[in-house]
Structure 1
Amino acid sequence: MENQNFYAIGLMSGTSLDGLDICYSKFIRNGSDWAFEILKCETISYSSDWENDLKNAIHLSSGKLLELNSKYGFYLGEKTQDFISKNQISELDLIASHGHTVFHQPKNKFTLQIGDGRAIKIKTNKTVVYDFRSQDVLLGGNGAPLVPIGDELLFSEFDACLNLGGFSNISLNRNGQRIAFDICPVNIILNKFAQKLGKKYDENGDFGRSGTIDENLLSQLNQLEFYKQKAPKSLGIEWVNAHISTLIKDQRTEDLLATFTEHSADQIAEIFEESEIKNVLVTGGGTYNSYLIEKIKANTKTEIHIPKKEIIEYKEALIFAFMGVLRSLNLNNVLSSATGSLMDHSSGIVC
């Protein structure tokens, strides 16, 4: 069979509000085997207005939220069209957009990622695939994590793939099945405290390194019920507000950063050890937190592999582009073994 080539743009906006990731990639299909090449990528930082709009979306009335859904969809479309024009992209089969998560309540059968895909299509005049999570939630799944399909088909040389974003999540192959789950909050907490010290994030983990671990708080964090639950399982901002915000009293900010970094490292290393992971690919913004990486390494024998910059920063956007390609071919792009849904399925609204 001759190789088939597909060109797609993936759009990703994470809970840590680092910005909009845009990744243009080529995917090569040879039978059941897939390969990829990242061709162009860029992160567009949010203005303070957009950051506030997205951060506070959870508190909006239904009418205002619908308005923001359209407005953000047009924003995504405009930024994507700018990216296409600037890079003179002529070969493009589709745009796949994750959107920005506002609500994630799989137990109540809903999840919401705003950024109307139809608005993206209006601005770009390209096929758009969006809303990848809702179908999985309706099928009884967690609607997350979704990237394991890409880990399985594009990064199979590693025992596991760990993403350090707003939350840390991992996918690994266990007994012939790809399982995946969220481990713990990372940048959604660390960035919040770093901002109190005048930085957008804890660069290199320097604030955390300068703090003192609050052993009592650390113990309370490590004993949270979520960590005892079996996979599949996922986290959202609602969980952070309900279970973590209540534990924060009047501790010094540097000490909170030290404690939460230690907590994240404890939880991540524990998963590595109990799953007997030999090597792991680590991506996401938290990879640049050298203090966090040092803490993880100190707690595990697992070999930590940190790839080149474009994979660290754009792996999720790359995989959403890949999921869009799979959806366009009507191939399964969500694994029930990862999300807990009734079956593997091909998810995403195509317009």
Structure 2
Amino acid sequence: MEKTQFKLLGVMSGTSLDGIDILAVKFDFNSGTSYEILHAATIPYDKTWKKKLSSAINLKEQELKSLNREYTQYLGGVLNNFITKNKLHNLDAICSHGHTVKHEPQNKYTLQIGNLRELAQITGNTLVCNFRVQDVKLGGQGAPLVPIGDQMLFSEYNYCLNLGGFANISTEEKNQRIAYDICAVNTVLNYYAGKMAMEYDEGGKLAASGREIPGLLEKLNTIKFYDEKPPKSLGIEWVNREILPLLSNYEENIPDILHTYIKHIAFQISEVVKNSSEVKVLVTGGGTFNDFLMRELGRKSSAEFVIPSAELINFKEALIFAFLGALKLRGENNVLKSVTGAKKDHSSGVIFNP
């Protein structure tokens, strides 16, 4: 008999390097799909790990393999602490995204570290991981992967918008789910907050204090990626190549850079979301707490931007990676070709037993 109830950990580490999001959840597939969040926490990266992960893209192959092993050991310890602290027993699996170091779908290559078999052994639990690799091999972008969760868990919204390291969105179009990355968000905002000795610009106050830099907004909005049709996805390589060189000319005034860049984010999102008061947009991810960004979004669009509980804002991606793991364990498709551009819908991920 097919298993219908699962107790899982969802684990996510994003490009903005906030930390490791861990969520314990129960799924019930008996009538539709329902979920109950049991516990959730973000384990922040210390300065050493932030430095290692932010510079990992420049490592050679052997150095990357070494970092992968080291990160897997570290992640295993973090997960064991979470499991012990919350007295979690009888987990069906840990469903982990890992941490993206390289994402080059055009070269049929994507690498998330922390997805080694050793993680199952360290934690003593079944591990479902490496969700992106198979999709890239099938000609897909390997991202975004969250939309099937949007479709099955949050169907009451016209759009699901995530404001993390990048802004990505998913919606129904012509009876199929489509989703794609829109622009960089916290990868850029946190980079410049860091230059002011801040981890992030709390509430967007620094950005709100700045002024728009003449001509910069127009330059940002003419970047070629924005004219491309989905499926399409972004990585830190793109930020380093396309965004930071444009902004580096104005670094004598960080508040003005942040102010202008947030206007750019709001403009790009408003270009994607239908401008109607009947449209409901579920907004999650750390950028949701940037009040200046949310005000700019409201100013650019008449759509209703719905901000849910802080728990869902912070842990929706971890929730959905747990959901992807549940679908994999059930042998069901968890990646949609309409979203990633792969040759077919498929059940992605690798299962390691302890």
Fold shared by both chains (TM-score > 0.5):
yes
Residue 269 of structure 1, CA deviation: 1.2
| Match in the other structure for 2:197 | 198
| Match in the other structure for 1:137 | 136
Q: Mean Cα displacement is larger for which, 104-113 or 275-284?
A: 275-284
| Match in the other structure for 2:318 | 317
Distance 2:121 2:275 in 1: 48
CA contact (8 A) 2:203 2:292 kept: yes
| Match in the other structure for 1:253 | 254
Task: Please give the secondary structure, in 1, of the residue aligned with 2:273.
Answer: helix
Residue 117 of structure 1, CA deviation: 3.2
CA contact (8 A) 2:276 2:302 kept: no
Residue 199 of structure 1, CA deviation: 1.0
| Match in the other structure for 1:149 | 148
Aligned pair in 2 of structure 1 residues 275, 113: CA closer, same or farther (>3 Å)?
Answer: farther
Task: Please give the secondary structure, in 2, of the residue aligned with 1:30.
Answer: coil
Q: Mean Cα displacement is larger for which, 13-22 or 1-10?
A: 1-10
Structure 1 stretches of 4+ with a deviation exceeding 4 A read: 274-277
Task: Please give the secondary structure, in 1, of the residue aligned with 2:200.
Answer: coil
Which residues of structure 1 form unaligned runs of 5+? none
Structure 1 position 59 matched with structure 2 position 27 = no
Structure 1 position 294 matched with structure 2 position 295 = yes
| Match in the other structure for 1:50 | 49
Structure 1 position 333 matched with structure 2 position 334 = yes
Residue 119 of structure 1, CA deviation: 2.0
Which residues of structure 2 form unaligned runs of 5+? none
Distance 2:97 2:13 in 1: 7
Distance 1:288 1:65 in 2: 34
Residue 111 of structure 1, CA deviation: 0.6
| Match in the other structure for 1:344 | 345
Distance 1:350 1:16 in 2: 27
Residue 116 of structure 1, CA deviation: 3.0
Percent identical among aligned pairs is 50
Distance 1:42 1:60 in 2: 30
Residue 114 of structure 1, CA deviation: 0.6
| Match in the other structure for 2:109 | 110
Structure 1 position 19 matched with structure 2 position 32 = no
Aligned pair in 2 of structure 1 residues 52, 17: CA closer, same or farther (>3 Å)?
Answer: same
Distance 2:340 2:278 in 1: 20
5 Å matches for 1:105-254? Answer: 105-248=104-247, 249-251=249-251, 252-254=253-255
Residue 273 of structure 1, CA deviation: 2.6
Q: What is the aligned-residue RMSD (CA, Å)?
A: 1.5
Aligned pair in 2 of structure 1 residues 94, 46: CA closer, same or farther (>3 Å)?
Answer: same
Task: Please give the secondary structure, in 2, of the residue aligned with 1:273.
Answer: coil
CA contact (8 A) 1:2 1:30 kept: no
| Match in the other structure for 1:269 | 270
Residue 4 of structure 1, CA deviation: 2.6
Residue 99 of structure 1, CA deviation: 0.6
Task: Please give the secondary structure, in 2, of the residue aligned with 1:79.
Answer: helix
Task: Please give the secondary structure, in 1, of the residue aligned with 2:324.
Answer: helix
| Match in the other structure for 1:30 | 30
Task: Please give the secondary structure, in 2, of the residue aligned with 1:100.
Answer: strand
CA contact (8 A) 2:275 2:303 kept: no
Residue 276 of structure 1, CA deviation: 9.1
Distance 1:62 1:108 in 2: 16
Task: Please give the secondary structure, in 1, of the residue aligned with 2:41.
Answer: strand
Distance 1:16 1:250 in 2: 22
CA contact (8 A) 1:22 1:43 kept: yes
Task: Please give the secondary structure, in 1, of the residue aligned with 2:29.
Answer: strand
Residue 207 of structure 1, CA deviation: 0.6
Task: Please give the secondary structure, in 2, of the residue aligned with 1:26.
Answer: strand
Structure 1 position 87 matched with structure 2 position 75 = no
CA contact (8 A) 2:336 2:346 kept: yes
Distance 2:85 2:309 in 1: 24
Q: Mean Cα displacement is larger for which, 50-59 or 239-248?
A: 239-248
Amino acid aligned to 1:192: Y
Amino acid aligned to 1:326: L
Amino acid aligned to 1:13: S
Task: Please give the secondary structure, in 1, of the residue aligned with 2:144.
Answer: coil
